[in-house]
Amino acid sequence: MTLFVPLDESSPPPSIPSFLVRSETPNLHLRKAIKAILKAKRLVIVCGAGISVSAGIPDFRSESGLFQTLKRDNPKEALTSGRDLFDASVFNNEHTTSLFCQMIAQLSELSQAASPTLFHQALRSLDERGRLLRVYTQNIDAIELKSGLSFGVPEFDKRRARPRSKPKSTGPPIADQSATSSNTSCTPDSTPGSRYASPAVEVPRCIPLHGTLQTVHCQTCMHTFPLENHVSSLTSGTPPYCPECTQMEETRQLVGKRARGVGKLRPSVVLYNELHKDGEGVGEVVRRDLIGGSKGKGWSGADALLVVGTSLRVPGTKRMVREFSKAVRARGCPSSRDTVSASTGLATPSPSPGKGSTASAEDSPIKSIYLNFDFPGPAREWEGVFDAWLQGDAQSFGEILMEEITKEAAGKEAALERKRKREQGAAPLEGAEETGLPKKKAKTKNPNSGKPVSKRDTKASGTPSDRPRNPKSKRREDIDISTTSPPGIAADNPRLTIRIPPRTRVPEVCIITPRAPKLPCTPPDTHHNHRTTTHSLSHSDATDESDLSELEPDNLEVADELPTVMRTAQYGLRAIG
């Protein structure tokens, strides 16, 4: 099913096609379609002559279009339609060639005087948002270039399609052959089979499907020249001669070579029943936009499609639109069952549900949108291709789209301004930390404020001043190391004092190490090993009491059972009140 959304609610619903479902809330679905366009990351737009009518350039197939106007202005030519002047057979007759050149000159003057419309400005705004993948235009006026879009058909390197082949050696290797081959292989694209990829080709944002009125090209040497330099010749109905062929002919005459002839210039527009001279480049761009970039690029193909201002009568454009619709709808719904017809080669979208599925058609996502006054015909060929048909003028839709883009930009600007203010408010706090000024702390609610406090918790917690500090934030002042002696102890006995920050009472550990006296020398035969003596002495007869009295200070009490005279240590704990 295709959802029918009229831009003007008073317009009557069309009788055909039968698979259309009229929206019960057109404004809501119009906003939904616009949101789908703005949310798309890789939007593809296919536009026709309907977007340039308000700029003063006529379309082709309407009652006041170019085909009917040419037929009415040339009654003697017995033209069945103005389409006859856009056929490749116009160059078979001098008279029709003259009419064609005059018509092109008039269209060129109209294109030069035309200004971008609201829809062209919307294209530019979409491009500035960075989510417009491509614009494929059937127009030849090149107004998209005036609106600010890059325009043209890229020239891809044809050497990429050539198979890689190594040159066959017919004889023994030469001494300098290895050095030559190594130097050659280091140069990118030095040979057709080089493994180095050529630089990426920059693809313009807008691709002209049917050529442009900006240039003319020679049918003999295929050189391209600006059309504005040859407007006077085209206005008179005479195709101008090619300057490149003329110069080459003069050079050949000077060197005595035979003449090859001088080609004539023709407008670089694509006519019916002829091939596009840049068809390979256009096809390569379409292929890349359908399937996405090459390996490792990290981007996929189009995810939304908008077709506007075209009746979709040209076979090549019809096929391209169907392929893009299939691609974007498959990405939106991975379970799509679209197939490719074996007879026509065109993508056949999945069949639409029955007429009773109005709710499902209104709730389904919108990925493929058609915007025009009339639905393309024959209608049966477009069943299941578009998710929504917006009936109305392209300029009205462009105005609504521009309003939404402006609102979106204003919302982003307001968000940036709020972020900037938050950063400016945080800057003074950072400056206070750097200068050492006190910083206001945010008041936090005590989680235990409503709970009863027991005596045990009160004793454990204590007052805020008595609470222990975080052990990770220990300072150098918490550890005091001194070697002064306490009163009453001789200065010969230094003391090591270590203060450990306790919770309530701080114990003090005193380690007193008296200096060992100088022992008299004993004969070698009576002197014993220090380690052996220390461990072998007993508590009863190891030392003499007189020796101990010489080592001890007067005010120091030492136990009678000290095992050695080499070192005396006493450990005492004293509480500091």
Segment 18-43 shows an average pLDDT of: 93
- Residue 469: its pLDDT value, please? 54
Whole-angstrom distance, CA of residue 417 vs CA of residue 395: 33
Segment 433-458 shows an average pLDDT of: 52
CATH superfamily of 1-57+117-155+202-210+279-333+365-379+386-421: TPP-binding domain (3.40.50.1220)
Give tens-digit pLDDT for 280-305: 999 999 999 998 865 545 567 999 99
Residue 386 is given by DSSP the state -
- Residue 527: its pLDDT value, please? 45
- Residue 248: its pLDDT value, please? 92
**Which phi and psi angles does 570 have, rounded to 5°?**
-130, 130
Length of the chain: 577
pLDDT reading at 73 higher than 60: yes
Segment 395-410 shows an average pLDDT of: 94
Cβ neighbours around 33 below 10 Å, total: 23
- Ranking 37-46, 204-213, 467-476 by mean pLDDT, the lowest is 467-476
Segment 242-265 shows an average pLDDT of: 91
Nearest CA among 496, 476, 475 for reference residue 485: 496
Q: Between 487 and 73, where is the model more confident?
A: 73
Nearest CA among 239, 308, 315 for reference residue 272: 315
pLDDT reading at 164 higher than 50: no
Segment 510-529 shows an average pLDDT of: 51
CATH superfamily of 58-113+212-269: SIR2/SIRT2 'Small Domain' (3.30.1600.10)
| Residue 189, phi-psi category: left (phi > 0), alpha (psi -120 to 50), beta (remainder) | left
pLDDT reading at 230 higher than 70: yes
Q: What sign does the CA torsion over 450, 455, 459, 460 have? A: negative
- Residue 511: its pLDDT value, please? 56
Segment 346-357 shows an average pLDDT of: 48
- Residue 47: its pLDDT value, please? 96
pLDDT reading at 12 higher than 80: no
Whole-angstrom distance, CA of residue 265 vs CA of residue 244: 10
Q: Between 33 and 170, where is the model more confident?
A: 33
Q: Between 353 and 7, where is the model more confident?
A: 7
Q: Between 444 and 101, where is the model more confident?
A: 101
Whole-angstrom distance, CA of residue 314 vs CA of residue 274: 13
Q: Between 74 and 559, where is the model more confident?
A: 74
**Which phi and psi angles does 477 have, rounded to 5°?**
-70, -20
With cut-offs at 50, 70 and 90, classify the pLDDT of residue 538. Answer: very low
State the alpha helices, DSSP H only, in 148-294. 177-185, 231-235, 243-254, 279-291
pLDDT reading at 340 higher than 80: no
With cut-offs at 50, 70 and 90, classify the pLDDT of residue 515. Answer: low
In whole numbers, what is the pLDDT of the chain averaged over residues?
74
Domain definitions of the chain by residue range: 1-57+117-155+202-210+279-333+365-379+386-421, 58-113+212-269
- Residue 393: its pLDDT value, please? 94
Please report, for residues 168, 176, 288, the alpha-carbon distance to residue 179 in angstroms, rounded to integers and kept in the order given.
Answer: 17, 6, 39
**At which residue do the structure tokens 């050539």 appear?**
162
- The residues near 108 (Cβ < 8 Å, ≥ 6 apart) are 213, 227, 228, 231, 234
Q: What is the signed CA dihedral for 492, 495, 496, 502, rounded to 10 degrees? A: -170
Concerning whether 210 is annotated as a catalytic residue, the answer is yes
pLDDT reading at 556 higher than 60: no
Q: Residues 498, 504, 508, CA angle at the centre, nearest 5°?
A: 25
Segment 114-125 shows an average pLDDT of: 95
Share of the chain above pLDDT 90, in %: 43
State the alpha helices, DSSP H only, in 369-526. 394-435, 455-461
**Binding site membership: which residues?**
218, 221, 242, 245
- The residues near 213 (Cβ < 8 Å, ≥ 6 apart) are 104, 107, 108, 111, 140, 141, 142, 227, 267, 268, 269
Return the SS3 of 522.
coil
With cut-offs at 50, 70 and 90, classify the pLDDT of residue 77. Answer: confident
| Residue 101 and residue 237 in contact, taking contact as beta carbons nearer than 8 Å | yes
Segment 165-183 shows an average pLDDT of: 39
Q: Taking the chain, what is the end-to-end CA distance rounded to the nearest angstrom?
A: 92
User: What DSSP element (H or E) covers 165?
Assistant: none
- Residue 392: its pLDDT value, please? 93
With cut-offs at 50, 70 and 90, classify the pLDDT of residue 136. Answer: very high
Q: What sign does the CA torsion over 267, 269, 275, 278 have? A: positive
Most confident listed range (366-380, 467-481, 516-530, 553-567): 366-380
Segment 309-326 shows an average pLDDT of: 94
| Residue 489 and residue 495 in contact, taking contact as beta carbons nearer than 8 Å | yes
With cut-offs at 50, 70 and 90, classify the pLDDT of residue 170. Answer: very low
Residue 152 is given by DSSP the state S
Q: Residues 282, 378, 332, CA angle at the centre, nearest 5°?
A: 60
| Residue 311 and residue 46 in contact, taking contact as beta carbons nearer than 8 Å | no
User: What DSSP element (H or E) covers 123?
Assistant: helix 118-128
pLDDT reading at 175 higher than 50: no
Cβ neighbours around 4 below 10 Å, total: 21
Q: For residue 176, what are its two tokens? A: 């300098």
| Residue 402 and residue 120 in contact, taking contact as beta carbons nearer than 8 Å | no
pLDDT reading at 358 higher than 60: no
Give tens-digit pLDDT for 78-115: 677 778 888 999 999 898 899 999 999 999 999 999 99
Q: Between 413 and 176, where is the model more confident?
A: 413
- The residues near 169 (Cβ < 8 Å, ≥ 6 apart) are none
Residue 465 is given by DSSP the state G
Of residues 29, 120, 210, 230, which has the active-site annotation?
210
Q: Between 322 and 558, where is the model more confident?
A: 322
Segment 392-401 shows an average pLDDT of: 95
Q: Between 439 and 261, where is the model more confident?
A: 261
Segment 364-388 shows an average pLDDT of: 93
Q: For residue 326, what are its two tokens? A: 């299939």
With cut-offs at 50, 70 and 90, classify the pLDDT of residue 205. Answer: very high
With cut-offs at 50, 70 and 90, classify the pLDDT of residue 243. Answer: very high
Please report, for residues 423, 436, 441, the alpha-carbon distance to residue 431 in angstroms, rounded to integers and kept in the order given.
Answer: 13, 9, 15
Q: Provide long-range contacts, Cβ within 8 A and 24+ apart, for 328-336.
A: 328/44, 328/302, 328/303, 328/304, 328/367, 328/368, 329/367, 329/368, 329/387, 331/300, 331/301, 331/303, 331/367, 332/303, 332/365, 332/367, 333/365
**At which residue do the structure tokens 């270590």 appear?**
498
- Residue 65: its pLDDT value, please? 78
Q: Between 331 and 307, where is the model more confident?
A: 307
Pairing of strands 368-372, 506-512: unpaired
State the alpha helices, DSSP H only, in 255-300. 279-291
pLDDT reading at 518 higher than 90: no
pLDDT reading at 20 higher than 50: yes
- The most distant pair of C-alpha atoms in the chain lies apart, rounded to whole Å, by 152
Q: For residue 552, what are its two tokens? A: 């001890």
- Residue 300: its pLDDT value, please? 79
Whole-angstrom distance, CA of residue 481 vs CA of residue 498: 5
- The residues near 396 (Cβ < 8 Å, ≥ 6 apart) are 7
Whole-angstrom distance, CA of residue 111 vs CA of residue 118: 16
pLDDT reading at 166 higher than 60: no
